[in-house]
Amino acid sequence: MRPATLVFRVAVAGGSMEPTFRDGDWLLVRRLSGPPRAGEVVVATDPREPARLLVKRVGSVAGHRVTVHGDHPDESTDSRQFGPIPDSAVIGRPFLRYAPLRRIGFVK
């Protein structure tokens, strides 16, 4: 799953990124240019199922291997289970939460 456009939209499903994102939030995502950096939120393909997208925060970057985790670790399946992912799996950076209206804001 690799969107062709420079900016694409995703809907968040699940609570592992709370409080940053809630289930049902809509995000604008910029296609990644350059390597992912520790601490930023990214959209990546699921290493277990490449057609599926994940939204997670980058924990650490070591060479081409990136660990990702949820902001809400009790409710997250992430690198603790599936290990580091290749940096090539990281495809974008969400930069704006555009819905619901009361939650509009830039992504930190």
Using the rule CB under 8 A, give the single segment among 6-14, 31-39, 59-67 that binds another protein. 6-14
Q: How far is CA 100 from CA 33, 44, 90, 91, in A?
A: 27, 23, 25, 24
Tell me which of 4, 19, 34, 81 binds another protein, using CB under 8 A.
Answer: 81
The residue type of 73 is: P
Q: Does 79 bind another protein (CB under 8 A)?
A: no
Output Rg (C-alpha) for the chain, integer angstroms: 13
The residue type of 90 is: V
Q: Does 37 bind another protein (CB under 8 A)?
A: no
The residue among 62 and 83 lying less far from another protein, judged by its C-beta, is: 83
Which run of H or of E encompasses 79?
Answer: helix 79-82
Instruction: State the residue for tokens 């601490």.
Output: 39
Q: Does 26 bind another protein (CB under 8 A)?
A: yes
Using the rule CB under 8 A, give the single segment among 19-27, 31-39, 59-67 that binds another protein. 19-27
Number of residues that bind another protein (CB under 8 A): 34
Does residue 90 contact residue 38 with C-beta atoms inside 8 Å?
no
Site of interaction with another protein (CB under 8 A): 1, 3, 8-17, 21, 23, 26-27, 29, 43, 46, 52-56, 70, 74-77, 81-82, 94, 98-99
